[in-house]
Structure 1
Amino acid sequence: MPSQISQLLAESVADCVPEEPTNSSVAPSLTYSEDSEDQDELAHPIPLPKRRRASTRLIAQSVADIQRITGESTQQIVNRCCGGGCCFKLGKRTEGLEYEEVPQPDNDAFRSLGLKFFEIPTTLTGIPDMPEQTAFFQPVKSSAKNITSPPSPTDSGVEIDADTSLEQQAKKLQLEDLDTTIQPPSFVQPHPPYNVFPAKLHNTRELTRDGAEKRTFHFDLDVTDYPEESGMDFKVGGAIGVSAPNDAEAVEEILDLLMVPRFLRDKPVLLRTTKGRWPTVWGDDQARELVTTRRDLLTWCCDIQSYPPTKPLLRILAEYAQDENERKLLMFLCAAEGQGVFCDFRTGPHISLSQILNAFPSAKPPMDVLLSSLQQLMPRFYSLSNDPHESYEMRDGKQHRLIEIAVTVHETSDWKTGTRKGVGSGFFQRQSLKFLDQVAAGKTPQLYIPMFKGLMANPLAKQFVSDGPMLLIGAGVGIAPFRGFVQRRLKNANCANKVWVLQGIRDSLVDELYSGEWGVHEDEVKRVIQSRKGESRYVQDEVVHQADLVWYIINSVDGRVFVCGSSKGMGEGVEEALIKVAMDKGNLEHDEARRYWDLKKDAGQYIAETW
């Protein structure tokens, strides 16, 4: 073993502290992205270039050049562009066509869409047919004698089997006895037998402070009564699934915009589908009949804000638009002649369903027709931030088992309120603020998180082992699962069982997560790298600076390097930093170094969980 490695090993046994840099800080990584969890701005200002005459040298000769200039990878550009060249046709006339100016809706929602309508051809081509309606509402019959349609099975919840008696069918054709204000209907279950469980919110707090660009909340969930499931338990580094509902106010607004009478919104209705898995989550592709309510379907089964608009949705709105001008504009967006405007429309910021309905106020499609074209509301997954085998609390004379998670609130622009929260993170923030308000008012909160044990093969949990040195690299909320790793490791710390943490943040005063909560040896195992304070470095810079430590760990028996956080900026930067370490310490070329880490990933020694 080289002398540097031997010296490092001796020092690591002594105090488990990553070696202090002996050279000056490295420059910020060129993979900087403003969307990253821990990247914000270049650490050192770049001096303005001297004036010189124009050059004929090509500025884009490779994929890397394109990304440097546009700020996007080639894949991102491909995803954003349909490839039809429609971007170059905006505002241009086609010979032989007659055009007309169509008055546009005069409302803030329409103006917020930023649609660049010029003159519209009087004759449109390539308009798609109305999408197939696959969901139908029918009144719930009051007795078995009125059952006329052939029944079809469902995945769970209300089942109607051909072999059951009419009395049994009549009993099943009624709303299930379930509080859907705290958990979804049973037919929304992820996959048998993993039913959604309303875990009581035991405690919550905000981890970030005033001034942080992104708010992060901590949650303690009581899973004492979680149903027993064979072969499944909460794991260190594992994840839970959360069936987060849409915001109740947003659902109410859509019901208002669709002019659904208030007395029908919570009234039982028979939903009949002809194909697909909706409104289940991981159900089979088959026809279904089940009893539910219109509010529950919009709350738990339809994503009303996370996806760009689609032509089937716009075609439905055009079909039911009562205003002729609105109908022309919607038809234009669906037509071949409006492809350029449509591409601009769908590749911009995500537009909520309520925004589109407000923009075209005369479009009032029947709700079951609209449901046939909306995207499925899918569960969100969150990593555990504690060791779930050691988290218990005595309360009311009973031992309660707790799991802990951290959630960073995702925000995007909104035409009405300025910003809106993500479906999952927004739900968590609302629950946290309600809990804190009720505690401040002297009340005992009764709030719940609809969750289930994660079904994903979480690589962090899968590759966690109790032996061998381990380096944990994370930024933002990506650091949360590593807290459980450290809690478990520090209980059996020995010379062959070391753990180090490199945590990238913006400013330790406002957004350092779980400061002081990593165990009694926190100052010996964790190093915080700030991008806005002190030396203004990024976590990938520290990876290069700790090359000896990285190389020692990855070449040790059962040594592991874990990376968790945003793929933009941090994830890409750490990957390049690890390649640089392999090139330096292993005397490898760039491609050889990349292959080296690929082999370590295949062997389960290099684990990256990024998004």
Structure 2
Amino acid sequence: MLSVPTAQIPTSAKTAHDRILEQSRAPSTAPSLTFSELSSDDQDVDDSLSADARRRRGSTRLIAQNAEDVQRITGESTAQIAARCCGGGCCLSAGGHQAGIEYEKAQHPDNDAYRSLCLEIDDIPTLLTNVVDMPEQTAWLEPIRRPSDVPSPVSSVASGTPSSDNTNLVQNAQKSLQQLALSDLDTTIQPPNFVQPHPPHSVFPAKVHKARELTRPGAEKRTFHFDIDITNYPDGEGVDFKVGGAIGVSAPNEENDVDEILDLLLVPRFLRDKPVVLRTTKGRWPTVWGDEQGRELVTTRRDLLTWCSDIQSYPPTKQLLRILAEHATEENERKILMFLCSGDGQGVFCNFRTGPHISLAQLLHAFPSAKPPMDLLLSVLQPLMPRFYSLSNDPHDSYVARDGKTHRLVEIAVTVHEANDWRKGSRTGVGSGFFQRQALKFIEAEKNGERDPPVYVPMFKGMMANPLAKEFVSDGPMLLIGAGVGIAPFRGFVQRRLKTANCANKVWVLQGIRDSLVDEIYSGEWGVHEDEVKRVVESRVGEGRYVQEEVLHQADLVWYVINAVDGRVFVCGSSKGMGEGVEEALIKVAMQKGNLAESEAKEYWDLKKEVGQYIAETW
């Protein structure tokens, strides 16, 4: 184990408050990161820190945190739910007949999409109660018409010279027509200009300079690396790219998915890319940022579904199902949809939302007679939000010469996330799926001999003041704890730190992976001192250990860093399993090395977090 000066460890004779606030100022030689025989860790989920109790954690996702969330999910306020709740938990049961109520047998749609919904509906009450009202329509699509104040053409011979009134009318009409025109943007590589993430940022189509896969065949999750050319990124935003910062990416929905939904809604192909006027009455949509107010702009149906509405990331709401029920022409489909929107079907609806992931296309396939107007559907779909990706390099010193010019690059790593899909078995997330498609497109083009393939990433300067970037300082020791793609921003930290004289012995990395042969990312790319600063722990090789277990094994190092002048401990990765486990391990380190009670150890790390010495970026 590593040894540290005893002056750094608080004694039990001191008060808890003194023990928590005490920090050593005595100079000492920083301990080096040693490889123990008992080490190995990974980004996998593990509830326990003990080696003999390593059970898998079931993935969970909190979908309701307050009354607004409940109302958004169920279509009812908490007061409405409480008013009809008997307290017996019947909403969690499969149902059952109640005395005095007449039922009819449910006739299920005969298609694979519907069967994949796994709806447990046998009988439906003939008279449904507490059915959700039709949602308010807030968006309308209208054709672009010639302004009504444009005068009919008049012969110059008959009238001599045109009157000034007619001239003004024509000029006003021409001005109106110019305003009602599509922006001059290539929306195949970037969103319409009204999709502004946040001022002063605007989405910029940055060219991919290089794309490669970091993981190898056999890895459970694929991770891709991107070098993104930001040479021509617009000036004037008042902020530069920073070590530990994150770029925002306005990832579009997949083109095939958009076309499939347009097909299911029976939108003719000649109308999909035709300019239309979008008029909204409230809210921010279709933009991401801005005041909640009505808007009127020109766009296309394809752009709205591609860049503005999320068609796969959110469970269906009762408002969405109510719209489908209203426009279902088959009576059996309508009855099932109305049942899901009623108080009688609350239990089935809850199971429905928490079951397999459901996309908009799957719902439309499951209830094929439901063909609602597209603008009504857009009124209830969730907005498509930007995704954020941490920089994995030092953007202040990342340049490449090409075609006689110097190009500035930022680098990111993206792990592809997958969800269940009723037809293909699995499908990728909106953001990670977009990056996988761009990477494969780039790699294939290069393989075919194409130089400088035209592959773009619609990005903007995202969170350059996020905790990782904000708390990065040039002095003081740092311990970087991460797993999976969470290790990516630490690569930029190490690159930056190793360029500074006498700093190679002040940074240490604990990298958790499954198997270094298939999913260790950025191996050999951390700098000349990589072997001295980085410790890889594997969970699927040998005895298999998790990164939180290695934190306990390196207790002396942890205690040295957190008590040193400007010492910092960074944690980055998944909050479930790794993030929770590392936090528990850090508390145990404080209890062991600081002789603190558990509550005091928790308060100790809370104080360190307040002063910016303990920084956790987890998701």
Interval of TM-score (by shorter of Structure 1 and Structure 2)? 0.7 to 0.9
2:350 aligns with one of 343, 355, 359: 343
Does the alignment pair 1:255 with 2:262?
yes
3-state SS of 1:453 partner: strand
Give the counterpart of 1:39 among 37, 45, 64. Answer: 45
Segments of structure 1 that go 5 or more residues without pairing to the other structure are 29-35, 48-67, 148-163
Asked if 1:182 is matched to 2:189, the reply is yes
* Residue type of the alignment partner of 2:127: T
Q: Which moved more, 1:168-177 or 1:502-511?
A: 168-177
Distance in structure 2 (CA, Å) of the matches to 1:348 and 1:267: 38
Q: Which secondary structure state, in structure 2, belongs to the residue aligned with residue 145 of structure 1? A: coil
Matched ranges for 1:77-92 at <5 A: 85-92=89-96
Given candidates 292, 297, 322, the residue that maps to 1:290 is: 297
CA deviation map 1:7-64 (0-9, x unaligned)? 99999958x631344xx73899xxxxxxx933379996669xxxxxxxxxxxxxxxxx
SS at match of 1:404: strand
Provide TM-score, normalisation by structure 2: 0.86
Conservation of the 8 A alpha-carbon contact between 2:224 and 2:415: yes
Q: Report the equivalent of 2:309.
A: 302
Measure, in 1, the Cα distance between the counterparts of 2:45 and 2:353.
28
| Deviation readout 1:219-269 (Å, 9 max, x if unpaired) | 000000000134300000000000000000000000000000000000000
How far did 1:76 drift? 7.8
Q: What is the CA-CA distance between 1:348 and the residue it aligns to?
A: 1.7
- From 151, 172, 180, the counterpart of 2:179: 172
Question: Mapping of 1:85-234 within 5 angstroms?
Answer: 85-143=89-147, 145=149, 165-234=172-241
| Structure 1 residues 144 and 346, CA gap change in structure 2 (3 angstroms) | same
Q: Provide runs of 4+ in structure 1 moved above 4 Å.
A: 6-14, 40-47, 68-84
RMSD: 2.8
Does the alignment pair 1:392 with 2:418?
no
Distance 1:108 1:124 in 2: 27
1:200–1:296 distance in 2 versus 1, CA, 3 Å: same
One of 576, 583, 598 as aligned partner of 1:590: 598
SS in 2 for 1:303: coil
Would the alpha carbon gap of residues 87 and 78 (structure 1) be closer, same or farther in structure 2, given more than 3 Å must change? farther
Give the aligned partner of residue 25 of structure 1.
Answer: 38
Alignment correspondent of 2:4: 4
Give the whole-Å Cα distance in 1 for the aligned partners of 2:325 and 2:132: 11
Matches of 1:91 and 1:173, distance apart in 2: 53
Cα offset for 1:404? 0.2
Alignment of 1:190-589 (within 5 A): 190-444=197-451, 445-455=453-463, 457-494=465-502, 498-589=506-597
Contact 2:497 2:504 in 1 (8 A): no
* Equivalent residues of 2:393, 2:412 under 8 A apart: yes
Paired letter, 2:174: E
CA positional deviation for 1:347: 1.5
**Are 1:39 and 1:569, in contact at CA under 8 Å, matched by a contact in 2?**
yes
Shift of 1:457: 3.6
SS at match of 1:375: coil
Against the structure 1 CA distance between its residues 46 and 501, is the aligned structure 2 distance closer, same or farther, given a 3 Å change threshold? closer
SS in 2 for 1:255: helix
Residue matched to 1:32: none
Residues 240 and 464 in structure 2, CA contact (< 8 A), matched pair in contact too: no
Which whole-Å CA distance do the structure 2 matches of 1:308 and 1:353 have between them? Answer: 9
Q: Scaled by the length of structure 1, what TM-score is found?
A: 0.87
Report how far residue 442 of structure 1 moved: 1.2
Q: Structure 1 pair 421/542, CA: closer, same or farther in 2 (3 Å)?
A: same
Q: How many Å separate the matches in 1 of 2:148 and 2:458?
A: 34
Instruction: For structure 2, list consecutive stretches of 5 or more residues without a partner in the other structure.
Output: 9-23, 75-80, 152-170
Deviation per residue, 1:465-505 (Å, 9 max, x gap):
00000000000000000000000000014169610000000
| Pair 602,362 (structure 1): closer, same or farther in 2 beyond 3 Å | same
- Farther off after superposition, 68-77 or 253-262: 68-77
| Alignment partners' CA distance in 2, 1:73 and 1:262 | 40
Mapped to 1, the partners of 2:587 and 2:330 lie a distance apart of 60
Distance in 1 of aligned mates of 2:350 and 2:65: 12
Match of residue 54 from structure 1: none
Question: Does the 8 Å contact 1:323/1:362 carry over to 2?
Answer: yes
Which residue identity lines up with residue 459 of structure 2 in the other structure?
M
- Choose between structure 1 and 2 for higher RCO, CA contacts under 8 A separated by at least 6 residues: 2
